[in-house]
Amino acid sequence: MSDPFILLVEDNNKDEILTLRALSKHRVANRIEVVRDGQEALDFLFASGMHKDRDPMDFPIVVLLDLQLPKVGGLQVLERVRSDPRTRVLPVVILTSSSEERDVISGYRLGANSYVQKPVGFEEFSHAVAQLGLYWAVLNHPLPAQRTTP
């Protein structure tokens, strides 16, 4: 197993840079792995495709998941994550610009741990991302290495 890391699933380069800058600014020291579409997120999590050489049991401490993704949408990624015993309890935070009520409801119905709308201004965005990073990387007690549920 590697050191605890965060998986950022984000296709917007500007939002990726802002998220990484915010985490760094607030001294979240965990490694951040970035994937840029829903299919790559699934390949990363399940060690397939271009990520087939990854340890299939090395999961992030949290997934920060955008909804509007190319190839496979964020809600579909979440549904797949929750349907697999290896990742069923993996913390997933939806981090998206969508404030659509149907997205919020669908996200929670599919098992999101949290739904955070991306603030527009950098300071607000930076603060929100920092709080997420600090909570999941420092305060939250992660599940032991065995991720399957009984």
| CATH number of 70's domain | 3.40.50.2300
SS3 34: strand
**What are the distances in angstroms from CA 106 to CA 112, 114, 116, 121, 142?**
9, 12, 14, 26, 25
Query: Within a domain: residue 88?
Result: yes
Confidence (pLDDT) at 145: 58
Domain extent at residue 114? 5-139
Q: How many CB atoms lie within 10 A of CB 4?
A: 15
Query: Within a domain: residue 145?
Result: no
User: What single DSSP character describes residue 118?
Assistant: P
Beta bridge partners of 32: 6
Which residues, at least 6 apart from 5, have a Cβ–Cβ distance to it below 8 Å? 30, 31, 32, 33, 60, 61
Query: Within a domain: residue 62?
Result: yes
pLDDT profile of the chain (150 residues), mean per 10: 86 90 81 96 96 93 94 97 95 91 96 86 79 74 54
Query: Within a domain: residue 20?
Result: yes
Q: How many structural domains does the chain have?
A: 1
pTM here is: 0.88
Which residues, at least 6 apart from 118, have a Cβ–Cβ distance to it below 8 Å? 15, 95, 96, 97, 125, 128
Query: Within a domain: residue 148?
Result: no
Query: Within a domain: residue 150?
Result: no
Query: Within a domain: residue 149?
Result: no
Report strand pairing: 92-96 vs 31-35: unpaired
Confidence (pLDDT) at 13: 93
Query: Within a domain: residue 144?
Result: no
